[in-house]
Amino acid sequence: MILIGKDGEVKFREQLPVDLSDILAVIDAMPMRQRRCERDQNKPQGRRKWQNKLVMESMPSICVLAMHQEFEEIKAVTKNPQHICFNCGRVADAEKNLCNPRPLK
């Protein structure tokens, strides 16, 4: 598997099978991802404690889950993907788990 950044450079190269947490760690370390996650966390909206971490109200987006390395939670919300995020390309079962969801057709 090869992950190519928006700059066209190879960011990750591994033989299959690849551990999801390895891919997410590479993506989450990218400056563009970090800016997006910081921006999403600073949006003025209701907040609550979720597993001792300050995150968005209701179920956190996959971006927030990945920042906190909640990989089991990510697996739970991506078992039957029905939506894709137009910002990051991640997929999830429900819209509420993505920053900019669009239906997968």
Instruction: Classify residue 70: in a domain, yes or no.
Output: yes
Return d(Cα 53, Cα 75) in angstroms, integer.
19
Domain count, the chain: 1
The residue to which tokens 């920042």 are assigned: 67
Amino acid letter at 76? A
82 lies in some domain: no
Note whether residue 93 is domain-resident.
Answer: no
List pLDDT tens digits, range 4-62. Answer: 887 888 888 988 888 877 887 888 888 888 787 777 766 554 433 443 343 334 457 88
Does the residue 94 lie in any domain?
A: no
Residue span of the structural domain in which 37 resides: 2-77
How many CB atoms lie under 10 A from the CB of residue 51? 10
Per residue in 85-102, is it b (16+ CB within 10 Å) or e — as a string? bebbebbbeeeebbbebe
Does residue 68 sit within a domain? yes
Q: Is residue 100 part of a domain?
A: no
Cβ atoms 88, 101 nearer than 8 A: no
Q: pTM for this one? A: 0.46
